[in-house]
Amino acid sequence: MYKPDPHEYDAYYQKYISHVPEIDIRPAFAAQPDELRAVFSDVAEENGTFAYAEGKWTTKEVLSHLIDGERHFAYRMLRISRGDETPIEGFEQDGYIENSNANNRPFADLLDEFDLNRKSNVLLLNNLDETSLARMGTASGLPVSVRALANICIGHVRHHLAILKELYLIKL
């Protein structure tokens, strides 16, 4: 799989795609669940409800957001790869987190959920040909290709891991 060209995504998505230097992203895409497990292996359950400031997401809520993002990006990849040209709405991430019940879930459960979603998405991605990967659609009112969405999935996780490292002091 090749990197997306800049015309395949809106500048908004650059903040995620910039975290993906790989040309062939499939190994990185498949490896992220294990990377997340490694990051959280030493984080105590009681630290899951830590937020670095009032009104910010807790550590577990960040993980829940990664799960939500994974599902939304995969839905977009599926629809666009299949030639569905209907614009895909965005999602209001804060509302999703408010209703996620993330703080009452163990880390293992959250990590398992991300892992299972990503495994499904690895199968989807690995079975798309170059024509499907280059197919363009509209998501959140912005143009995007399937190839760009796969890169966004990786970059989205890396973006939030960098925030966890910086503001939540989680070792990476």
CB 83 within 8 A of CB 134: no
Q: How far apart are CA 66 and CA 141, in angstroms?
A: 21
Q: How many alpha carbons fall within 13 Å on the CB side of residue 65?
A: 21
CA dihedral angle for residue 105, residue 58, residue 142, residue 146, rounded to 10 degrees? -50
Domains of the chain: 6-167 (1.20.120.450)
Interval 84-138: pLDDT, tens: 999 999 999 999 999 999 999 999 999 999 999 999 999 999 999 999 999 999 9
Q: How far apart are CA 111 and CA 59, in angstroms?
A: 12
When computed from its CA atoms, the radius of gyration of the chain, rounded to whole angstroms, is: 16
pTM of the shown model: 0.95
Interval 123-166: pLDDT, tens: 999 999 999 999 999 999 999 999 999 999 999 999 999 999 99
β-strands 136-139, 142-145 pairing = antiparallel
